[in-house]
Amino acid sequence: MLNPRDVKSIEDAKAIVEERGLTHVKVGVFDNDGIMRGKYMSKAKFFSSLENGFAFCDVVLGWDSKDQLYDNVSYTGWHTGFPDAPVRVLPESCREIPFEDGMLLFMGEFEGPAESLCPRGTLRKVVDKAKELGFDAFAALEYEFFMFNETPKSIREKGYKDLEPITPDWFGYSMLRNSVHAELYQQILAMSETMDFPIEGLHTETGPGVLEAAITVDSAVNAADKGALFKTFMKVLAQRNDMMATFMAKWSADYPGQSGHIHISLRNSDGSGSSFYDPSQKHNISKIQRHFLAGQQRLMPEFLCMIAPTVNSYTRLIPGFWAPTDATWGVENRTTALRVIPGSEKSQRVEYRLGSADANPYLALAAALAAGIYGIMQEWEPEAQIKGNAYDQCHPEELALPRTLWDAAQRLKSSEAARTMFGDPFVEHYAASREWEEREFRKHISDWEMNRYFEII
């Protein structure tokens, strides 16, 4: 019997479906916002799609997270009639869904003109650029997320207020909490093994009902696959337990935001080892790692909307809540946006701490990796290392991060580096989608405005 993760070819994919006697399988693609869009597909249709691809309405690249249609993009829209876009099935993406009786899931990737906008395709493009320079990219993603004793129905009935976290109070790294809720933790760990996004560490973070999961390192595209699937199926698992998980950057002004930190390293494609590790240098930082770090630092303001993609993302980027506010770097310093982690030949890396949990894993990793690769290409040097509390220090103006999603979108549009690394079609389309997101936000009146202005002004 074939193991789902041993499926590598079209023939393997057909064989495992036949072995399991499945009449249908699940197929899915990821959209701009990192949301998995998919469907059940009959065996006959799936076998045909393995050979020839299949068509998926390109509206999934033309609407937002609430299925509202962009009115400011050229790729698709009412003016094109929302035609189908070709999608190739990725046989090697095969996973078993543990709670669906042997059901298999396969991921897809857009082809043709849509490939230039496809999040997974965008990351693959950056990985290919790294390969051309002689580097293999590796990454590990870690996510903080809050869990609630709520359902999709109850949160709407409550108007998203007075929500009940699964545990009260602040209690990070709690052995008490993970023992009381051992069955839930075991479900999470078992699912992560079955679906091949194995968790290296799972613990409570500081805040009511918040957990942190660190996913095991893998090659860059595989790491993004693991992160995207983890976010999707963690929400599924929670709802199957009459709970809800949220990956919002910040759901309450009273608690810290939720991060999506990205650990990145490069290895030499010729097999000669780490590109980042040089024991003759201070903190083992090689010349390549120094240039990579400089690129990440210099381009962070320009690529920010790929890392912080929602209006809500910017409520997290404030001093004192474990989220960086400037493009700073330090060695083992968690107050900076970039944390160099000195280690062995195998563990020397950079942690991109700016990342938030609401980011699309493919695009966040593409941005963090592309910035570093561009820095290597330009042989840039980083600014001075930050020691101590980065929040208490003054930084060069060019290191300041945009404060709103709109401003971040403008920086991406005007970025020569972004157009070089991601291509003009992606930059234009993605920046427009972030402008749309900000415009949708501006249509609404907040509770804060009502409370502040209704009677008194």
Instruction: Give the tens place of pLDDT for each residue, 88-109.
Output: 999 999 999 999 999 999 999 9
- Band of residue 322 on the pLDDT scale cut at 50, 70, 90: low
The answer on 141 and 231 residing in a single domain is: yes
Other beta carbons within 10 Å of 206: 16
The answer on 362 and 331 residing in a single domain is: yes
Residue 142 lies in a domain: yes
Distance in angstroms (rounded) separating the CA atoms of residues 400 and 423: 25
DSSP 390: G
Distance in angstroms (rounded) separating the CA atoms of residues 362 and 371: 14
Residue 283 lies in a domain: yes
Write down the residue that tokens 């009381």 correspond to: 180
- Band of residue 396 on the pLDDT scale cut at 50, 70, 90: confident
DSSP 445: -
Q: Which domain holds residue 350?
A: 126-413
Averaged pLDDT score across all residues of the chain: 96
Q: Is the pLDDT reported for residue 1 higher than 90? A: no
Question: What tens digit of pLDDT does each residue of 160-206 get?
Answer: 999 999 999 999 999 999 999 999 999 999 999 999 999 999 999 99
Residue 332 CA: distances (Å) to CA of 217, 304, 385: 19, 22, 11
Q: Is the pLDDT reported for residue 320 higher than 70? A: no
412 and 418 in contact (C-beta within 8 Å)? Answer: yes
The answer on 296 and 264 residing in a single domain is: yes
The answer on 109 and 41 residing in a single domain is: yes
What was the pLDDT predicted at 394? 82
What was the pLDDT predicted at 65? 96
- Band of residue 317 on the pLDDT scale cut at 50, 70, 90: confident
What was the pLDDT predicted at 215? 98
What was the pLDDT predicted at 258? 92
The answer on 130 and 110 residing in a single domain is: no
The last residue of one of the domains, among 68, 85, 114, is 114
* β strands within 103-184, DSSP E: 104-110, 135-148
Distance in angstroms (rounded) separating the CA atoms of residues 234 and 242: 13
Residue 421 lies in a domain: no
Question: What tens digit of pLDDT does each residue of 193-245 get?
Answer: 999 999 999 999 999 999 999 999 999 999 999 999 999 999 999 999 999 99
The answer on 277 and 257 residing in a single domain is: yes
Distance in angstroms (rounded) separating the CA atoms of residues 289 and 231: 30
125 and 423 in contact (C-beta within 8 Å)? Answer: yes
Residue 248 lies in a domain: yes
What was the pLDDT predicted at 318? 76
Distance in angstroms (rounded) separating the CA atoms of residues 262 and 269: 21
Q: What is the mean pLDDT of residues 66-86?
A: 95
62 and 77 in contact (C-beta within 8 Å)? Answer: yes
Question: What tens digit of pLDDT does each residue of 331-377 get?
Answer: 999 989 999 999 999 999 999 999 889 999 999 999 999 999 999 99
The answer on 205 and 131 residing in a single domain is: yes
What are the strands of the beta sheet with 36-42, ordered from one edge? 36-42, 24-30, 104-110, 84-96, 54-57
Tokens of 64: 């937002």
Residue 440 lies in a domain: no
The last residue of one of the domains, among 85, 114, 143, is 114
Other beta carbons within 10 Å of 77: 17
What was the pLDDT predicted at 391? 81
What was the pLDDT predicted at 285? 97
CA torsion 4-9-10-14 (nearest 10°) is: -30
DSSP 68: P
Helix (H, G, I), strand (E, B) or coil at 237: helix
Residue 256 CA: distances (Å) to CA of 145, 205, 206, 248, 364: 11, 10, 8, 11, 20
Degrees, nearest 5: CA angle 198-201-205: 130
What was the pLDDT predicted at 253? 87
Tokens of 333: 């310093």
Count the domains in the chain.
Answer: 2
What was the pLDDT predicted at 321? 64
Degrees, nearest 5: CA angle 404-126-116: 75
CA-atom Rg of the chain in angstroms: 22
